[in-house]
Structure 1
Amino acid sequence: MRRIFLCSVIMTFCLATPAFSQFVVTDPALTQLSQITWAKELKQAYEQFKVLDNSRNILTESLDLYRKVSGLIQNSKMVLNVLKLQGEMLKISATECSRTDIYTQEGYNAYTKVLNDIMEESITSFDLLRTIISPDLKMTDGERLKIIIDLDAKLRAQQDKLLDERARFNTVNDAIKRIAALKSDKS
């Protein structure tokens, strides 16, 4: 009797509980568009990663060569400055390429393209530095220092360009945020 009563209570409870469901709606066009957008973003992220990875590899190789070069070049503050500038630029680019506070994807895509161009220029400069500080290259320390001083000036200009682009993007991005906030307040 107890079992029958318990079964009837359970059945009553199960049948009395309302069931909710929802139809599954699919939109093939939207699905296709989402897949295309995702593929473009994945390709862009891969390209950004490739530039940053190349910069990191060149920096590592240059540090290894730096350890092998003559004492005068090794103690030169210019070489240290060039290495430091490249590291700072790499850090800024990595941070900027992984931002999530963007309001327009098109503007951010253009911005990261400029960052990639700047980093590719710095990679070229770094390749030259790597060649210059190589102990196999037949140059005097004075000739090496002259080229290193030129590289330092070039990297400083590239870093300034990188910082200017970041400031420009931040200004535009902040303005778009404010406009969106004003539009949502009026609604």
Structure 2
Amino acid sequence: MSAHSYRLAVIIGSTREGRFAPVIANWFTRHAESHAHIDVDVIDLDAVRPYELRHGSEEYASFAKRVDAADAFVVITPEYNHSFPAPLKHAIDLLHAPWQAKPVGFVSYGGISGGLRAVEQLRLVFAELHATTVRETVSFPLAGNLFDEAGRLHDPAPATRAADALLDQLTWWAVALREARDARPYGG
């Protein structure tokens, strides 16, 4: 990887049966992978099963290692009752140091608010973990109406612009914070 390349962990926060998250995640992941300087690692909490992770287990160690290896995160979250999913909160709370001094961006979806109320709550959670959330977001209000049956956006231009803005901010923060962590370990 070049000095400006970095590892981006895309965390799929919904585990509900029949979830729409894979459609959003597939679109965003394809877009992020089109940026040559970004190495994407998709962490699907439906596969991780955070409630089943136990300290000391191989599965817990694998999850912790993937989070620790990331230079930045994008959390893909729906909005459920003005908040984010409980399994996502549990997965975040399982770890502490691997989140510190790293940037976090958000791709949200939901009803009319597009998941932005969930994002605002997640910003508070990540602040407590000493992570830096970026301002740019990608939001899909009434998401089911925006994609066709094959998972393609009917009008990709607005979401693509928003995703590029998000990735530009994440790139700056990912590289800057990695350089800072390399120069001096974070002491939060």
Assess same fold via TM > 0.5.
no
TM-score category, normalised to shorter length: 0.3 to 0.5
Q: Compare the two structures and name the one with the higher helix fraction.
A: 1
Larger radius of gyration: 1
Q: Compare the two structures and name the one with the higher strand fraction.
A: 2
What TM-score, normalized to structure 1? 0.32
What TM-score, normalized to structure 2? 0.32
